[in-house]
C-alpha cells in the first residue's frame, strides 16, 4: 500500500531530542515527512540542523520535565498528532542507601511527567476528534529488575503500565499508545560501559545480534509505531534489544 509508512502532513513532538535516542527518533520521524518539534531541557540545535540539512522540517522547544506539568499547555491548538516521550534520567545507588531526593527526581521525570504530558496530548486530540499516536520510551528494566537503580526500575515498570491503560482508554478515539524498550544502545549514556572491556564483553555475549544497538534502530521503530502501518498496534511494549530478552 502506497504511503503506509509516510508521516507527511503530521506534526510530532519528541522529548529529550537533543542527543542519543531522542535525536535519532526526531530525525527518523522527519525523514518520513513529519514536522518535528525537538524538546529538551538543553538546546536541540544540533538535531534541528540535522533534520533541516536533510530537507526536513523542525523546530525546538526548551522544557525541563523536573516539573512534571511542564508540557500541560504545549498541545493546545498546536496541531500535534504524534508524541514521543523519550526524556528521562537515572540515578544510581544501592537500594539500602537510596535517597528520597533521588527517588522523587527520577520518578517525577520518568513517570509522572510522562503521564501528564500524555494526558495533555490526549485531552487535546480527543476534544477535537483527531486520531494520533503516542510512543513512550520504556526500558529492558520494564521487564527486569536491574541493580542499583530502584527508582529507574520502578519508573520504567510504570511507563509500561501507563502505556497499557492509555491504550485501553484511547483506542476508541483512534489514538494508539505503545512503548519501546531499548536494549543496550551505543549512546553517551552507555559510553562508560562500552569502554569497560570486561563489562562490554559480557553484554555482547548475551546479545544474540552480537552488537550494541544504534540509536537509529530505535528511531526506525518509533517511526513505524507512529505510522499507518501500526494503526492496529496498541498497548504493546516492544523490546528492541538484539534478542537480549529472548536469551
- Select from 157, 134, 147, 214 the least CA-distant residue to 182: 214
Q: Does 232 map to a domain?
A: yes
How many structural domains is the chain composed of?
1
pLDDT value for 1: 47
Q: Does 17 map to a domain?
A: yes
Q: What average pLDDT does this structure show over 19-44?
A: 97
Instruction: Check if the beta carbon of residue 38 is closer than 8 Å to that of residue 47.
Output: yes
Using pLDDT thresholds of 50, 70 and 90, give the confidence band for residue 193.
confident
Q: What is the pTM of this model?
A: 0.96
Q: Does 131 map to a domain?
A: yes
Using pLDDT thresholds of 50, 70 and 90, give the confidence band for residue 95.
very high
Q: Does 5 map to a domain?
A: no
The CA distance from 183 to 162, in Å, is: 20
Q: At what angle do helices 150-170 and 100-107 cross, to 10 degrees?
A: 30
Reading the block at residue 218, the C-alpha cell is: 530505535
Q: Does 247 map to a domain?
A: no
pLDDT value for 192: 80
Q: Does 183 map to a domain?
A: yes
Give the structural domain span for 159. Answer: 11-240
Q: Has residue 43 got a pLDDT over 50?
A: yes
Q: What average pLDDT does this structure show over 189-214?
A: 92
Q: Does 162 map to a domain?
A: yes
CATH number of the domain at 56, please. 3.40.50.720
Residues contacting residue 203 through CB under 8 Å, at least 6 positions apart:
184, 193, 212
Q: What average pLDDT does this structure show over 158-183?
A: 98
Instruction: Check if the beta carbon of residue 247 is closer than 8 Å to that of residue 176.
Output: no
Q: Has residue 110 got a pLDDT over 70?
A: yes
Hey, which residues are catalytic here?
152
∠ CA 227-225-61, nearest 5°, is 85
Query: pLDDT (tens digit, 9 = 90+) per residue, 137-149?
Result: 999 999 999 999 9
Q: Does 221 map to a domain?
A: yes
Amino acid at each position: 500500500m502506497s504511503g503506509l509508512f509516510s508521516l507527511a502532513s503530521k506534526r510530532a513532538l519528541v522529548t529529550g531530542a537533543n542527543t542519543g535516542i531522542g535525536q535519532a527518533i526526531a530525525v527518523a520521524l522527519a525523514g518520513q515527512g513529519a514536522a518535528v518539534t525537538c524538546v529538551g531541557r538543553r538546546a536541540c540545535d544540533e538535531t534541528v540542523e540535522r533534520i533541516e540539512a536533510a530537507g526536513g522540517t523542525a523546530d525546538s522547544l526548551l522544557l525541563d520535565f523536573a516539573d512534571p506539568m511542564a508540557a500541560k499547555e504545549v498541545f493546545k491548538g498546536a496541531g500535534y498528532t504524534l508524541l514521543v516521550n523519550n526524556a528521562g534520567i537515572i540515578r544510581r545507588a544501592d537500594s539500602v542507601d537510596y535517597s528520597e531526593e533521588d527517588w522523587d527526581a527520577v520518578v517525577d521525570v520518568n513517570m509522572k511527567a510522562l503521564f501528564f504530558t500524555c494526558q495533555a496530548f490526549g485531552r487535546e486530540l480527543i476534544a477535537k476528534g483527531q486520531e494520533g499516536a503516542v510512543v513512550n520510551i520504556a526500558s529492558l528494566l520494564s521487564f527486569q529488575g536491574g541493580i542499583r537503580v530502584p527508582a529507574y526500575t520502578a519508573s520504567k515498570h510504570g511507563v509500561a503500565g501507563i502505556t497499557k491503560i492509555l491504550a485501553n482508554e484511547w483506542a476508541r478515539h483512534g489514538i494508539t499508545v505503545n512503548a519501546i524498550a531499548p536494549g543496550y544502545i551505543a549512546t553517551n549514556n552507555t559510553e562508560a560501559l562500552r569502554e569497560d572491556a570486561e563489562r562490554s564483553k559480557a553484554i555482547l555475549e548475551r546479545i544474540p545480534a552480537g552488537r550494541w544497538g544504534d540509536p537509529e534502530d530505535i528511531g526506525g521503530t518509533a517511526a513505524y509505531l507512529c505510522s499507518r502501518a501500526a494503526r492496529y498496534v496498541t498497548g504493546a511494549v516492544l523490546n528492541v534489544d538484539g534478542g537480549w530478552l529472548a536469551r
